[in-house]
């Protein structure tokens, strides 16, 4: 499945030139077939493979995985604590509902899922403080592990700036993770859009199954 050059199964766009009618019919039936497999089978190879294919081809949305706690963070304060990044509130413009920290150092936050699911992505709502959205995350590394030792990033991505408003709808971006099993998720931004005193993020969700 080719994702970043806009392959579109529903519109049969960017498929090989020799795709015939039978292939087109199979692809048209794919979403319903995936739903059937997922709903009719318990967790196992067929269920997980169908769910994985549905997520990769954007026929299905990956479920949100509950975060038990913020296991570790490089910095936290009473006014804008690290725990605010996993409090379920993203449609906010008050810094007390965001994680804010001094800039000039490489921050990190570790989320504990409490179990070991398959992680498909990390959803980020960037720093949404009006007039300060340039302080949001830009280049982001994601680590996933079954233990607290998170040494090698499994995915990287770009976090676009937030709108700086709370009346514009969902402004999140999902950074894809290559279906890695793990309990601990470390998110480590390597840069912000403009570093001028402090930085932060509004909300983080982990998705998978």
**3-class DSSP assignment, residue 184:** strand
Kindly report the length of the chain: 209
Which of left, alpha, beta for 53 (phi over 0: left; psi -120 to 50: alpha)?
alpha
pLDDT of 13 reads: 62
Contact predicate 55/120, CB 8 Å: yes
CA distance 31 to 16: 20
For the chain, 209 residues long, the average pLDDT of each consecutive 10-residue run is 55 64 82 91 86 88 96 92 96 96 87 97 98 96 94 94 94 96 96 92 97
Q: Looking at residue 16, what is its pLDDT?
A: 62
């Amino acid at each position: 499945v080719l994702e970043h050059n806009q392959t579109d199964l529903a519109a049969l766009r960017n498929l090989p030139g020799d795709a015939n009618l039978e292939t087109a019919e199979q692809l048209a039936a794919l979403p319903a077939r995936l739903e059937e497999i997922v709903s009719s089978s318990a967790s196992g190879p067929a269920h997980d493979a169908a769910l994985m294919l549905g997520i990769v081809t954007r026929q299905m949305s990956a479920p949100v995985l509950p975060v038990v706690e913020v296991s570790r963070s490089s910095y936290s304060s009473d006014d804008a604590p690290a725990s605010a990044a996993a409090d379920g509130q993203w449609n906010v413009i008050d810094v007390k509902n965001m994680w804010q920290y001094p800039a000039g150092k490489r921050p990190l936050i570790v989320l504990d899922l409490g179990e070991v699911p398959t992680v498909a992505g990390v959803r980020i709502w960037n720093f949404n403080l009006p007039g300060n959205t340039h302080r949001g995350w830009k280049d982001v590394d994601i680590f996933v592990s079954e233990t607290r030792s998170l040494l090698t990033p499994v995915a990287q991505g770009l976090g676009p700036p937030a709108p700086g408003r709370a009346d514009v709808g969902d402004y999140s971006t999902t950074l894809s993770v290559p279906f890695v099993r793990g309990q601990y998720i470390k998110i480590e931004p390597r840069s912000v859009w403009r570093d001028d005193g402090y930085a932060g993020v509004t909300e983080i969700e982990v998705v998978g199954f």
